[in-house]
């Protein structure tokens, strides 16, 4: 059976390649009236699957020539969340991968030879493609929508499997470890998981915050598909959903789309609550990637400890050492700097600060003096020539255009309690 499927797949590919000249002639003939474009949807990483498509839909709605586009999308062979794939089909024209992928490869090849064909490709995968720098999130309603039957199913699942009633509120907890990537990554790419190990956090460090949230009446769902360690807590309102037999693609989407807010260590999955307009309290690293494009963002970050000076570095000092952006733990070693993760107390403060700003309906979120001072220093450094040159010279070949896509205006904020307790960050 396996071999028959392979034969069918490659036979289809061959037929599509043979017929591709007819397709190319057709799109050229129709170009005056309608522009047929092929859109490759990134489906193997949840952040890009959610954020890239959402950004594409927002930009399409603003494009004055959008009425001329007929976009044909296709999914990659591996789909990380099948329910999200189902939801996006309500917004996209999705053709089978086996038919469209060969045409996409041909157009991609021709576009490198002649930019005439560029117009027939939707370019939605690049650094920052999932970042809402234009603040669509705060201005527009969600592109993704659940049917009434799906909302009812989600409520029934939570009641049956976890005891939550319709009126109960809950918070999603996303804590990164390398276990998932190690599980799905080939041996030759394992270096990537090692390179990003500085982004890993111990889930036990979040128990204090979770306990405080339950005292205020909120359930806490620890999210995840594949995780390394279980939460060591007897609190029945803290649910280790990552290890639950009831975990599913549908419930992943339902929980993340309906939580009071998401407490996270800056993961791709954060894009689900984000595009569904849920607030996000994030521990973000490196510094230049702070989540600031929406009023619904609140951030803290690791402390940068200089081994030579035997003290923490201010924001200015971090950028002067070219550590405003880094992509590997080796970059930190090079500059004799060690990251010290936020304490349990600081994580708890972040969660409670987020609850406080939610109660205020995000009003006056940027009027705090320390926050304004922080953002001024941060912006001066992010827009400096030194930072841009360093960022664009990175081995990943990130250009200056992509640097500018990291931020536009600042709508988010840093946790006020975090700034009050760590005013060394603002030293000039």
User: What is the CATH classification number for the domain harbouring 228?
Assistant: 3.40.50.2000
Q: State the Cα–Cα distance between residues 347 and 354, nearest whole angstrom.
A: 11
Tell me what the mean pLDDT of segment 356-371 comes to.
82
pTM (2 decimals)?
0.90
| 216 C-beta neighbours (distance < 10 Å), count | 11
pLDDT over threshold 60, residue 291: yes
Tokens found for residue 26: 């057709």
Considering the domain architecture, whether residues 111 and 197 belong to the same structural domain is answered as no
Whether 250 and 381 share a structural domain: yes
pLDDT, tens digit, 9 for 90 and up, residues 310-330: 999 999 999 999 899 887 888
Domain that holds residue 56: 2-122
Task: For residues 86 and 100, give the distance between their C-alpha atoms in angstroms, rounded to a whole number.
Answer: 18
Q: For residue 114, give every residue at least 6 positions away whose Cβ sits within 8 Å of its Cβ, in sequence order, or none.
A: none
Do 167 and 91 share a structural domain? no
pLDDT value of position 373: 95
Please check whether residue 144 lies inside any domain of the structure. Answer: no
Q: Assess contact for 265 and 331: CB atoms under 8 A.
A: no
109 and 232 together in one domain? no
Residues 257, 87: Cα–Cα separation, whole Å: 12
Pick the more confident residue, 9 or 370.
370
pLDDT in tens, 135-148: 888 888 999 999 99
Question: Is residue 354, in this structure, part of any structural domain at all?
Answer: yes
Long-range own/partner contacts, residues 367-370 (CB < 8 A, 24 or more apart): 368/413, 368/416, 368/419, 370/414, 370/416, 370/419, 370/420, 370/423, 370/426
d(CA 327, CA 334): 12
Least confident of 3-12, 207-216, 241-250: 3-12
Tell me: do 46 and 191 sit in the same domain.
no
Average pLDDT on 331-345 reads: 93
pLDDT at 239 exceeding the cut of 90 = yes
DSSP category for residue 286: S
Query: Considering the domain boundaries, does residue 140 fall inside one?
Result: no
142 assigned to some structural domain: no
Helix (H) or strand (E) holding 301: none
- Residues 157 and 103 placed together within one structural domain of the fold: no
Q: Considering the domain boundaries, does residue 138 fall inside one?
A: no
**Pair (23, 166) in one structural domain:** no
For the segment 185-237, what is each residue's pLDDT rounded down to a tens digit?
Answer: 554 454 454 566 777 899 999 999 999 999 999 999 999 887 778 999 999 99
Q: How many independent structural domains does the chain possess? A: 2
Cα–Cα distances (Å) from 121 to 35, 46, 99, in that order, read 10, 22, 16
Q: What integer is the mean pLDDT of 266-282?
A: 95
* Mean of the per-residue pLDDT values of the chain: 88
């Amino acid at each position: 059976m396996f071999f028959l499927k392979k034969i069918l797949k490659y036979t289809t590919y061959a037929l599509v390649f043979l017929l591709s000249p007819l397709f190319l002639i057709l799109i050229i003939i129709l170009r005056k009236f309608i522009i047929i474009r092929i859109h490759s949807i990134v489906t193997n990483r949840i952040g890009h699957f959610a954020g890239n498509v959402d950004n594409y839909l927002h930009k399409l709605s603003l494009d004055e020539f959008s009425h001329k586009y007929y976009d044909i999308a296709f999914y990659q062979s591996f789909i990380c969340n099948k329910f999200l794939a189902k939801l996006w089909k309500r917004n996209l024209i999705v053709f089978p991968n086996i038919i469209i992928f060969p045409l996409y490869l041909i157009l991609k090849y021709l576009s490198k030879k002649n930019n005439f064909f560029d117009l027939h490709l939707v370019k939605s995968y690049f650094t920052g493609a999932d970042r809402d720098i234009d603040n669509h999130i705060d201005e527009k309603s969600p592109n993704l929508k659940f049917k009434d039957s799906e909302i009812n199913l989600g409520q029934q699942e939570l009641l049956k499997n976890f005891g939550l009633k319709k009126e109960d509120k809950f918070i999603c907890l996303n804590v990164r470890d390398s276990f998932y990537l190690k599980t799905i990554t080939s041996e030759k790419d394992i270096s990537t998981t090692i390179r990003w190990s500085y982004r890993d956090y111990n889930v036990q460090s979040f128990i204090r915050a979770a306990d405080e949230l339950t005292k205020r009446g909120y359930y806490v769902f620890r999210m995840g598909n594949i995780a390394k360690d279980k939460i060591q807590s007897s609190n029945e309102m803290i649910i280790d959903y990552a290890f639950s037999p009831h975990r599913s693609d549908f419930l992943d989407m339902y929980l993340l789309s309906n939580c009071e807010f998401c407490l996270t260590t800056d993961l791709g999955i954060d894009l689900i609550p984000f595009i569904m307009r849920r607030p996000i309290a994030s521990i973000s690293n490196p510094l230049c990637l702070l989540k600031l494009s929406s009023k619904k963002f609140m951030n803290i970050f690791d402390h940068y400890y200089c081994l030579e000076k035997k003290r923490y570095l201010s924001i200015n000092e971090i950028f002067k050492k070219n550590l405003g952006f880094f992509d590997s733990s080796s970059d930190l070693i090079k500059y004799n700097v060690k990251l010290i993760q936020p304490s349990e107390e600081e994580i708890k403060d972040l969660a409670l600060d987020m609850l406080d700003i939610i109660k205020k309906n995000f009003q006056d979120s940027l009027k705090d003096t320390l926050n304004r001072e922080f953002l001024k220093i941060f912006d001066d450094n992010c827009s400096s020539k030194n930072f841009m040159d360093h960022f664009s010279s990175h081995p990943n070949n990130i250009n200056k255009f992509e640097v500018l896509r990291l931020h536009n205006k600042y709508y988010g904020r840093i946790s006020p309690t975090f700034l009050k307790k760590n005013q060394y960050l603002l030293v000039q």
